[in-house]
């Protein structure tokens, strides 16, 4: 004799209901936020300019300062180009500035023959070079100054040795 359908459906329904109750969705497990005032460890970052040839820029600027009538020098390196801005002493005659620039160019080109060296003592361009150098030393990427470096390159006429 066949068991009635109700006797078969009732245990199956109870079994299905129990499995849904006990094995159903669990509460969302969200990570607990750190307690206020608990310091979180900073993520390790790599320096933005780890490939920037800062040593070349520093050496070139230091060597340029050794030339007579140069009060200060700032250099930036972009690719195979060195842009060098000179602060000349206040008593330097306008006719002498080109001679000083040429002396610095020759000295730097002898030091770094694999670079195209461009030298200027124009106050506006030197200020731009200083701003870029300051930004790079503060950790900004060289690529963030691409437009400014291009503008500096356009303002300076390259002199070759």
Q: What percent of the chain has pLDDT over 70?
A: 81
DSSP 156: S
pLDDT at 45: 46
Residue count of the chain: 161
Per-residue pLDDT tens over the stretch 106-160: 999 999 999 999 999 999 999 999 999 999 888 888 888 889 988 888 887 655 5
pLDDT at 47: 53
pLDDT at 125: 92
Q: What percent of the chain has pLDDT over 90?
A: 37
Per-residue pLDDT tens over the stretch 59-74: 999 999 999 999 999 9
Q: Say if residue 92's pLDDT is above 70.
A: yes
Long-range contacts of 27-31 (CB under 8 A, 24+ apart): none
**Structural domains for the chain:** 54-155 (3.30.70.1350)
Long-range contacts of 54-59 (CB under 8 A, 24+ apart): 54/136, 54/137, 56/82, 56/112, 56/115, 57/82, 57/133, 59/111, 59/112
């Amino acid at each position: 004799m066949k068991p009635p359908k109700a006797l078969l459906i009732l245990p199956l329904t109870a079994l299905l209901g129990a499995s849904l109750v006990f094995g159903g969705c669990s509460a969302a497990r969200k990570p607990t936020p750190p307690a206020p005032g608990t310091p979180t460890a900073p993520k390790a970052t790599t320096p933005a300019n780890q490939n920037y040839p800062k040593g070349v820029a520093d050496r070139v600027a230091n060597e340029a300062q050794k030339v007579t009538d140069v009060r200060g020098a700032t250099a930036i390196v972009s690719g195979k180009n060195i842009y060098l801005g000179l602060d000349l002493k206040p008593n330097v005659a306008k006719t002498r500035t080109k001679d000083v620039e040429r002396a610095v160019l020759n000295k730097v080109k002898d030091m770094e023959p694999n670079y195209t060296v461009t030298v200027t003592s124009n106050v506006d361009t030197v200020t731009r070079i200083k701003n870029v150098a300051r930004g790079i030393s503060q950790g900004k990427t060289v690529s963030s100054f691409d437009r400014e470096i291009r503008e500096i390159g356009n303002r300076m006429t390259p002199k070759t040795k």
